[in-house]
Amino acid sequence: MEARDLPAVHVLSAHVHPDYPERAEVLAEKFSLFPRGCFALESGGRIVGYCFSHPWMRGRAVSLDTLLGALPEVATTYYIHDLTLDDSMRGKGHGRAIVPDLLAVAGSLGLAHASLIAVNRRGPFWQASGFAPTADADLQAAVRAKYGTAAVHMERSVQARR
């Protein structure tokens, strides 16, 4: 992803996630804090997918549409905040293709875990990529309070199968 992609990413985000809106400045901050964890998929000259990810604290859910301010000085997980594809790109393997790259970034930072919040019934996608629901009932309750009753906090070892 490049800074010039952010307006198109925001448009795609609003289209694909109407129930989980995030302001343009929130997405821009994620990019400015950790550009290495931001990816864009382009097809036909337009952005058709993106991913925001960054180091974070294991066991703490990132709030939706909230500025982070800064990344933790000592991170304990690699957080995949959002992996989004335009409907026209779904089922073509683009989502699965980015997961090894995300895990490679996590590994290069020395992080042993990756985590995320699965929304929109995407748990099976993430389970196929080696993620499992977190056993912490309090964390799961906090995630559901922020993202809705179907949201699930998931994590996996960075060293696990890819």
List pLDDT tens digits, range 111-138: 999 999 988 777 788 999 999 999 888 8
Domains, the chain, in order of start with CATH, read: 3-157 (3.40.630.30)
The b-or-e profile of 1-37 (16+ CB within 10 A means b, else e) is beeebbeebbebbeebeeebebeeebbbbbbebbeeb
Whether residue 17 has pLDDT greater than 70: yes
**Across all residues in the chain, what is the average pLDDT?**
90
pLDDT for 47: 93
Considering Cα of 67, then 103, then 86, then 146, what sign does the dihedral take? Answer: negative
Sequence-ordered list of residues with C-beta below 8 angstroms from that of 116, at least 6 positions apart, any chain: 79, 80, 81, 126, 131, 153, 154, 155
pLDDT tens digits, 46-67 = 999 999 999 999 988 888 899 9
Return d(Cα 147, Cα 149) in angstroms, integer. 7
Return d(Cα 78, Cα 81) in angstroms, integer. 9
Q: Which two tokens stand for residue 160?
A: 């696990």
Q: Which two tokens stand for residue 87?
A: 């409907």
> How much is the average pLDDT of 73-100?
87
* Residues 106, 78 contacting (CB under 8 angstroms): yes
Q: Which two tokens stand for residue 1?
A: 């992803």
